[in-house]
Structure 1
Amino acid sequence: MSATARLSPWRVSIAVVILLATAVAGVLGVRMYEARASQEPAPHWFAGYVDVTATPSYAFEEGSADAAGHVPDVVLSFIVADKDGTCTPSWGTHYGLDEAGQELDLDRRIQRLREQDAGVVVSFGGAINQELATVCESPEELAEAYLQVIERYDLDTIDLDIEGSALEDPKSNALRAEALASLQADRRVVGKPLAVWLTLPVIPSGLTADGREVVMGMLDSGTDLAGVNLMTMNYGEARDSRSMFDASAAAMRSTHRQLGIMYEQAGIPLGDSALWGKLGATPMIGQNDVLDEVFQLNDAKRFNEFAVENGIGRMSMWSLNRDATCGSNYPDTTRVSDACSGVDQGEEHFAEVLSQDYSGHAAEAADASTEPDPAAAAPQEDDPETSPYPIWTEEASYLEGTKIVWHRNVYEAKWWTRGELPDNPVLEAWDTPWELVGPVLPGETPAPVFTVEKGTYPEWKGSASYEKGDRVLSEGTPYEAKWWTEGESPDASVADPDNSPWVPLTADEVKEDAG
């Protein structure tokens, strides 16, 4: 995402670790992870982004209470290096912190919002200007720059929007991770915990390689990530023919899988619900920067339902400044505006739609620590009696479309495969022959085997030889010979369909014979 006084493009997400609060604050060596039991599920919260330097100015301080009187948080963006490119925080290079207080009344407006029981998150980075980690020369200097902003606005939650050239810069990513780990540890020691969110680009297949490196770098540094917020927008060719909702839902599912692998590799196994809670989503409402990508109100409604159903921890949007129908003096709505959405919203607002059932605040989860889930680390045992499909075995070969069960999940083969684990922890979906379909459901039993009446075909005999095309029955199941065979049981085709001389018949094929 970008914050500027003019235009605001975006792109798109995570991980978690636990810091031993009693560790020496300044040491960044090996860090131990402390499991902290959570009495209640983490709150789910909505906070729309506000482009602080955009004109006309957006009055975020006025709040917008729902029917229950809840005023949501806001994410103020973006803090970057100053216009001289030094390690000095500024709002979009246009205002220093003092200048923003004087010329924008920013401190006063923040206080006014807080008086309505809403919270403020500040976002560092964005698509344009220089993210502080790209200009600061040491972790200590960078941590001090972050601390100036945190103390100025009394923050308990910050957002790091890493995209563009900053995303591809290993040096600044390492510097940022080290600085945040140290800063977070220092804040915990003095009783002022700091929640750290990453905001990263995403496509339907998940985080990019650069994005994953940022997440893993944070985990390796000892930073306890609150979560990864995905920029569900601007997919380009990766969207293919999907709707904006379908592309966004696919991006969330893919990243959920990737995040689980990254946490497991970091030695912090997490269950499905915990992983969903560590994900955030930020669509660009209305007209996106990509010409044919338009996120409509209907996409927003479906996305909110998807997020609530899966327990996604955070919902945001780019941006509150844009949450209005364009006026008649802005005729070309395919050109992105930073003051309107480019779609006809009628009386509706994207913020109201996306925030449905998100009644928490970021501050409520700011002191939470990530707890490894022992159950997630132990694979579940499969039981043939409660599995709808055969249980995967290393020796069997599987044709495209074959479904199996492994560790209480159903998988489908994307192409011929043998010996490749269905839950092999690969970060790219195209690197595995298996597609996860979903969990084995309570009460499921093996899928019924197709059988026919006795006498429909001759019974298979081990002493007989069969030519290609011959049809037989074995335990009531009809089979057809693929080539000449003798003494090879048709039942073996279930475990090794590729090498078996027998293939089971379908109901349609049997019906043709009967006809």
Structure 2
Amino acid sequence: MAATTDHSADDQATRRAREPGVPPRPLVALASVLLAAGTGVAIWLLPGRTDGDWAGRPGTGAAPAPATGATAGRTAEQGAAPAVARPSGFVTFVDAVRDPLFDLPKVARKSRVHWFTVGHLTAGHHGCVPRWGGTREQDGAPVADRLGRLRAAGGDAGLAFGGPAGRELAAACADQARLTAAYRQAIRAFDASYIDFELHDRADAATVFRRARAIATLQREAARAGRPLTVSFTLPVTAAGLSRSDQEMLRATRAAGAEIAAVNLLTPVDHGAGGQRRLLPVASAVRSAQPQIARSLGESAAWHRIALTPVLTGSGDLTEGDARKLLAFTNRNNLAWLSARGAALTPDVTRFLAAQ
């Protein structure tokens, strides 16, 4: 009892000795616990790291986009093109052959999509003359005739050469001057500041060189006119990344003097898988392709030069939840833009992606 009494007396003395305004030690301890818990919740609510993905695996990190990165765009309100005009955000692909009556300004207004890519222009019967799908003349696709109205409303669109059917012009036209003139004709006809080359076959070295020389010539001409020409390549990708021939094509194109703004990766979505597994192959393909693209373009990292285009077999392949994951992955890794091919997205998913 004496020991207990002594301790009580000491505690009372300590409390009497405490300076006014200093809270009791038990209260201080409780406040510290609550502060730590609150800080943990706040950190948990912060956006993810820039090098993560939906799989939870750390990535290699996103290189910051240069000043002439993929976020610039031209608007009709300004009345003139800025230094660089290229796709950004969510880009809708329009098949002018299968859907020639696609109403660009109407869809842009309803979906809030600002950028479109219209394709595909391939070689006609004469080899050096571009045709929609290789058969329809340039002025035979009403969708392309609506480009002016789209731009007047603040949107824009580029042209896609090549595609899964027909021969890309460089493979069919062996005359360098006529090939360059064919590309030039299409670009001027539709006032395009952005063109894409969708390649699916293994092109030989001569074809690659002809195309690269034509691109370099057209980019020099555009630069002198004060309206640079943005060029991208759309290529299929697997879990192993790009094929060796596509990597070599990119390297040779750059070596010939052409400037490649972005490489658009076509990767299928596993519609049979559920949850995170649906998109894991997409993330794996991008991670594999990134160092390959960087080496091909002579850069240390190439995240900002990668555009991502999942290929769908049905509209239900990409839910709004999937779209959120894709958008987060795109933003965290600073990718150039996001698009989709194959089956059309549902209107809700399109609006969600376009609104971000």
CA distance in 1, matches of 2:143, 2:293: 39
Cα distance, 1:115–1:280 mapped onto 2, change above 3 Å: same
CA distance in 1, matches of 2:250, 2:269: 21
Q: What are the Cα deviations for residues 383-425 of structure 1, in whole angstroms up to 9, with x where unaligned? A: xxxxxxxxxxxxxxxxxxxxxxxxxxxxxxxxxxxxxxxxxxx
Report the secondary structure of 2:340's partner residue.
coil
Q: Does 2:351 match 1:355?
A: no
Q: Does 2:176 match 1:139?
A: yes
Following superposition, the deviation at residue 255 of structure 1 comes to: 1.3
What are structure 1's unaligned runs of at least 5 residues? 1-36, 325-347, 358-515
CA distance in 2, matches of 1:76, 1:56: 10
Following superposition, the deviation at residue 122 of structure 1 comes to: 0.6
Aligned amino acid, residue 254 of structure 2: L
Following superposition, the deviation at residue 61 of structure 1 comes to: 2.6
* Aligned 8 A contact 1:285 1:296 in 2: no
* Aligned 8 A contact 1:284 1:295 in 2: no
What are structure 2's unaligned runs of at least 5 residues? 1-64, 72-87
Report the secondary structure of 1:280's partner residue.
strand
Residue 284 of structure 1 corresponds to which residue in structure 2?
A: 311
RMSD (Å) for aligned C-alpha atoms = 2.9
* Aligned 8 A contact 2:104 2:143 in 1: no
Residue 153 of structure 1 corresponds to which residue in structure 2?
A: 190
Cα distance, 1:39–1:73 mapped onto 2, change above 3 Å: closer
Residue of 251, 256, 267 corresponding to 1:232: 267
Residue 126 of structure 1 corresponds to which residue in structure 2?
A: 163
Following superposition, the deviation at residue 353 of structure 1 comes to: 3.7
Which residues of 2 match residues 87-486 of structure 1 at below 5 A? 87-100=128-141, 104=142, 106-107=144-145, 109-164=146-201, 167-233=202-268, 243-264=277-298, 269-270=299-300, 272=301, 275-287=302-314, 294-318=317-341, 322-324=344-346, 348-357=347-356
Residue 42 of structure 2 corresponds to which residue in structure 1?
A: none
Following superposition, the deviation at residue 307 of structure 1 comes to: 0.5
Q: Does 2:102 match 1:58?
A: yes
Q: What are the Cα deviations for residues 5-37 of structure 1, in whole angstroms up to 9, with x where unaligned? A: xxxxxxxxxxxxxxxxxxxxxxxxxxxxxxxx9
* Aligned 8 A contact 1:63 1:116 in 2: no
* Aligned 8 A contact 1:286 1:295 in 2: no
Report the secondary structure of 2:228's partner residue.
coil
Aligned amino acid, residue 216 of structure 1: R
* Aligned 8 A contact 2:270 2:279 in 1: no
Report the secondary structure of 1:223's partner residue.
coil
Following superposition, the deviation at residue 352 of structure 1 comes to: 2.6
Aligned amino acid, residue 214 of structure 1: M
Following superposition, the deviation at residue 195 of structure 1 comes to: 0.5
Residue 81 of structure 2 corresponds to which residue in structure 1?
A: none
The structure, 1 or 2, with the larger RCO (C-alpha pairs under 8 Å, 6+ apart) is: 2
* Aligned 8 A contact 1:206 1:252 in 2: yes
Hey, which of these two has a bigger chunk of helix by percent? 2
Which residues of 2 match residues 495-506 of structure 1 at below 5 A? none
Aligned amino acid, residue 193 of structure 1: P
Cα distance, 1:85–1:213 mapped onto 2, change above 3 Å: farther
TM-score by length of 1: 0.49
Aligned amino acid, residue 349 of structure 1: D
CA distance in 1, matches of 2:352, 2:326: 9
TM-score by length of 2: 0.69
* Aligned 8 A contact 1:317 1:351 in 2: no
Following superposition, the deviation at residue 168 of structure 1 comes to: 3.7
Following superposition, the deviation at residue 256 of structure 1 comes to: 1.3
Q: Does 2:100 match 1:78?
A: no
* Aligned 8 A contact 1:285 1:350 in 2: no
* Aligned 8 A contact 2:147 2:157 in 1: yes
Aligned amino acid, residue 87 of structure 1: C
Residue 443 of structure 1 corresponds to which residue in structure 2?
A: none
Cα distance, 1:41–1:131 mapped onto 2, change above 3 Å: closer
CA distance in 2, matches of 1:170, 1:117: 40
Residue 60 of structure 2 corresponds to which residue in structure 1?
A: none
Report the secondary structure of 1:86's partner residue.
coil
Report the secondary structure of 1:317's partner residue.
strand
Q: What are the Cα deviations for residues 292-318 of structure 1, in whole angstroms up to 9, with x where unaligned? A: x94444333211111011111111111
CA distance in 2, matches of 1:313, 1:200: 15
Cα distance, 1:307–1:234 mapped onto 2, change above 3 Å: closer
Cα distance, 1:155–1:323 mapped onto 2, change above 3 Å: same
Cα distance, 1:349–1:133 mapped onto 2, change above 3 Å: farther
Cα distance, 1:356–1:286 mapped onto 2, change above 3 Å: farther
Aligned amino acid, residue 349 of structure 2: F
Following superposition, the deviation at residue 56 of structure 1 comes to: 7.5
Q: What are the Cα deviations for residues 136-156 of structure 1, in whole angstroms up to 9, with x where unaligned? A: 112221111000110001111
CA distance in 2, matches of 1:41, 1:125: 25
CA distance in 1, matches of 2:149, 2:325: 33
Count of aligned pairs between the two proteins: 274
CA distance in 1, matches of 2:184, 2:128: 12
Q: How much identity, in percent, do the aligned residues show?
A: 26
Residue 84 of structure 2 corresponds to which residue in structure 1?
A: none
Report the secondary structure of 1:95's partner residue.
coil
